[in-house]
Amino acid sequence: MIESLVLLPTIAAALVFATRSRRLREGCLLGTAVAHALLVGALAASPPAPSRRAWLGLDPLGLLFLVIVSSLFLLVSVYTVGYLRREPEHARGDLEEAFLFSNEPAPVFVACLLLFLATMSLVTLSRHLGLLWIAIEATTLASAPLVYFHRHHRSLEATWKYLLVCSVGIAFALLGNVALVGAAAGSVTSELGLDELLRAAPRLDRRWLEAAFLLFLVGYGTKMGLAPMHTWLPDAHSEAPSPVSALLSGALLICAFLGILRAQQVLDAAGAHEVAASALRGFGIFSMAVGTLFIVRQRDFKRMLAYSSVEHMGIVALGVGLGGAAAFGAMLHALSHAFAKAALFLVAGNLLARYASKRADDVRGALEAQPASAALWLAGLLAIAGVPPSPLFLSEFAILREALAVAPWTAAAFLALLAIAFAAMLDVGLPMALGRAPAGISRDPEPATALGSPAALALLLLVLGLALPLPVRALLEGAARVIGGG
């Protein structure tokens, strides 16, 4: 059953790659997304019995991340279909510099998108740390062509940095795997099976284990966007086409985080919780600080969103590092951030299409030119900034509560950074929606395909924030329990 979550998109990818028919391509993309979501829904309703020693499996933590990936992919793929139809296939002038470029062929793009889904699903399903590594590295490889969709030199540069920095970073995680094997040497047979490791954790060598965790943290942290390893992230997110940015920011980053969480599970089981907790807290606050300060007076609004992702990954890491109720907060935060950031990136795509500029200064009066997108943009900004009824408010409050009890100074830094980020994001984002639209910007109504997905995401956020549905709450609590939260 769960294998099909990986196989289905892979087969669909092959099919898409083979065919030239646009209709079939779109059908494959949407069909796979829907089927995948339905499968995940079924799995969430009746989780499969955990089988020991299996390489693939679904625990509550994996399930949460799988749900995020699958639901996000569904909505993004709906948007993508419209997006690809709107994107011209022939060469055209670049927005920022004068030269021609043409997009990647759609079959390659869609196939890679499906492969991206397959690899991310594999990440959430892996019960073996070696397999997990392979899957995470595979997500990089599958998404690199996605980043390089607009074939011009800026996206090329972004792709190169994405590939190189992430590959080198993830290589550290491979080293972490080796260290884990070293820690297990002699005490466990199949060294990297998660279940075996968890069982044998108390007998593992402590120093090797800690080294392994830290290497995982650096390795997967690079992919997750923790500062100072986040450097690829703003480039890739700003240059990738908007639906891809949405997936990268919403789904990919937390998939990488899953790698860290798996290592943390082992560490917890071995009784070395404190190392993981303090490292996560440190990286969390540092990432928040770096992300926040780069949001201040940011000129490029997609980069601003990217740095906001750095900041929010910091918050998630901090929440997990604090543990207790904050772990629940972190899980809720991961979920809501995924939705909010994806909605923002999709709307940013709409703004970009209309204003033909990524410079925040060029975008003015969006409420006049494209009221629906502008309203969603404002809603997304406020949601990501943690203004109720955003669920991010609930998660941040939960994290704050725990921080105040555990580490008051961390709580102070947390709040101060949140406040700066709030002011800075709105400083950039508010004037884009408000004011008068420049002359020459079209006031035509927008296509429904460009609005449906972000609107659905906004609605989901509203529901989450106003009345966290009980099944979702159970899902989050299950996930939080796995990483030692209450």
Partner 1 sequence: MNSLLVAAAGLVALLDFRLLGGSRLVPIIRAAALQGALLALVSVALRAREVELGFAALALGSAVIKGYLLPALLLRALRQVEIRREVEPLVGYNLSLLIGAAGLGLSALLGARIAANAATSTPLLVSVALFTMWTGLFLIVARRKAVTQVLGYLVFENGIYGFGVAVAGESPLLVEMGVLLDLLVAVFVMGIIIFHIQRDFSHIDVDRLALLRDVDEPAPPGEAP
Partner 2 sequence: MTLFALALAAFVAGAAGALLAARSPRLATGLGAGGAVVGSLLGLVPAALVLSGRDVGSVRLPWSVPGGSLSLAIDPLSAFFLVPLFAVGAATAVYGAAYLLPEARHRSLGPAWLWFDLLLASMALVVAARNGLLFLVAWEAMALSSFFLVVFHHERDGVPRAGWVYLVATHLGTAFLLVLFAWLAGDADSLEFADWRRPASGASWLFALALVGFGAKAGFFPLHVWLPEAHPVAPSHVSALLSAVMVKLGLYGLLRVVSLLGGADPLWGTALLGVGLVSAAYGALALLAQRDLKRLLAYSTVENLGIAAVGLGLGLRAAASGATSLAVVALAGALLHVWNHALFKGLLFLGAGSLARGAGTLDLERLGGVLRRMPTTGASLLVGAAAICALPPLNGFASEFLIYLGSLEALGTGAPIAAHALAVVAGLAFAGAVAAAGFVRAAGVALLGEPRSAEAAAAREVAGPMRGVLAVLAALCLFLGIAAPVALRAAAPAIEQILPAGAEGGPALRAASALLWQVAAAGGAVAAAGAALLWLRARLLPAPVARPVGTWDCGHAAPTPRMQYTASSFAQPLTRLFALVLRVRSSAPEPAGIAPAPASFGTRSEDLAAGVYAGIFAAVAELARRLRPIQAGSPQLYVLYTVLAALALLLWKVL
The answer to whether 110 touches 29, Cβ cutoff 8 Å, is yes
**Shorter beta-carbon distance to partner 1: residue 98 or 439:** 98
Q: Which does 42 bind (CB under 5 to 8 A by kind): partner 2, partner 1, none?
A: none
Q: Does 387 bind partner 2 (CB under 8 A)?
A: yes
Report DSSP letters for 152-185, one per residue: SHHHHHHHHHHHHHHHHHHHHHHHHHHHHHHHHT
Of the candidates 301, 245, 243, 249, the residue with the CA atom closest to the CA atom of residue 83: 243
Q: Does 418 bind partner 2 (CB under 8 A)?
A: yes
Q: Which does 152 bind (CB under 5 to 8 A by kind): partner 1, partner 2, none?
A: partner 1
**Shorter beta-carbon distance to partner 1: residue 357 or 449:** 357
Helix axes 253-269, 301-322, angle to 10 degrees: 10
With CB under 8 A as the contact rule, the residue among 415, 446, 449, 481 that binds partner 2 is 415
The answer to whether 149 touches 103, Cβ cutoff 8 Å, is yes
Q: How far is the CB of 221 from partner 1 (least distance, A)?
A: 17
Q: Does 109 bind partner 1 (CB under 8 A)?
A: no
The amino acid sitting at 375 is A
Q: Is 356 left (phi over 0), alpha (psi -120 to 50) or beta?
A: left
**Shorter beta-carbon distance to partner 2: residue 111 or 382:** 382
Q: Which does 387 bind (CB under 5 to 8 A by kind): partner 2, partner 1, none?
A: partner 2
CA 322: distance to chain centroid? 21
Q: Does 98 bind partner 2 (CB under 8 A)?
A: no
Stretch of residues binding partner 1 (CB under 8 A), selected from 35-43, 141-149, 415-423, 468-476: 141-149
Question: x/- binding map, residues 128-167, to partner 2, per CB under 8 A?
Answer: --------------------------------xx--xx--
Report DSSP letters for 123-159, one per residue: HHHB-BHHHHHHHHHHHHHHHHHHHT-B-SHHHHHHH
H/E segment holding residue 92 = strand 92-93
With CB under 8 A as the contact rule, the residue among 42, 168, 448, 459 that binds partner 2 is 168
Q: How far is the CB of 328 from partner 1 (least distance, A)?
A: 33
**Shorter beta-carbon distance to partner 1: residue 141 or 434:** 141
CB neighbour list of residue 142: distance below 8 Å, 6 or more residues apart: 112, 115, 116, 118, 119
Q: Which does 158 bind (CB under 5 to 8 A by kind): partner 1, partner 2, none?
A: partner 1
> Distance between terminal CA atoms of the chain?
30
CB neighbour list of residue 49: distance below 8 Å, 6 or more residues apart: none
Q: Does 293 bind partner 2 (CB under 8 A)?
A: yes
Task: Measure the CA–CA gap between 121 and 126, rounded to whole angstroms.
Answer: 9
Task: Measure the CA–CA gap between 79 and 247, rounded to whole angstroms.
Answer: 12
With CB under 8 A as the contact rule, the residue among 74, 78, 256, 290 that binds partner 2 is 290
Q: How far is the CB of 141 from partner 1 (least distance, A)?
A: 5
Q: Does 55 bind partner 2 (CB under 8 A)?
A: no
Task: Measure the CA–CA gap between 195 and 51, rounded to whole angstroms.
Answer: 10
Q: Does 301 bind partner 2 (CB under 8 A)?
A: no
Residue 252: count of CB within 10 angstroms of its CB: 28
What residue spans of 323-407 are helical by DSSP H? 325-355, 366-369, 371-384, 391-406
Stretch of residues binding partner 2 (CB under 8 A), selected from 81-89, 254-262, 344-352, 391-399: 391-399
The amino acid sitting at 88 is P
**Shorter beta-carbon distance to partner 2: residue 8 or 332:** 332
Give φ, ψ of 99 to 5 degrees.
-165, 170
Q: Which does 468 bind (CB under 5 to 8 A by kind): partner 1, partner 2, none?
A: partner 2
The answer to whether 241 touches 83, Cβ cutoff 8 Å, is yes
Q: Output the six-digit token pair for 471.
A: 């099944």
Q: Does 294 bind partner 1 (CB under 8 A)?
A: yes
Radius of gyration of the chain (CA): 21
Binding site for partner 1 (CB under 8 A): 55, 97, 99, 128, 130-131, 133-134, 137-138, 140-141, 144-145, 148, 151-154, 156-161, 163-164, 167-168, 171, 174-175, 177-179, 181-182, 185-186, 190-192, 205, 207-208, 234-235, 238-239, 294, 298, 303
Binding site for partner 2 (CB under 8 A): 160-161, 164-165, 168-169, 172, 207, 210-211, 214-215, 217-218, 221-222, 228-229, 231-232, 234, 275, 279, 290, 293-294, 296-297, 325, 328, 365, 367-368, 382, 385, 387-389, 393-394, 397-398, 400-401, 404-405, 411, 415, 418-420, 422-424, 426-427, 430-431, 433-436, 467-470, 473
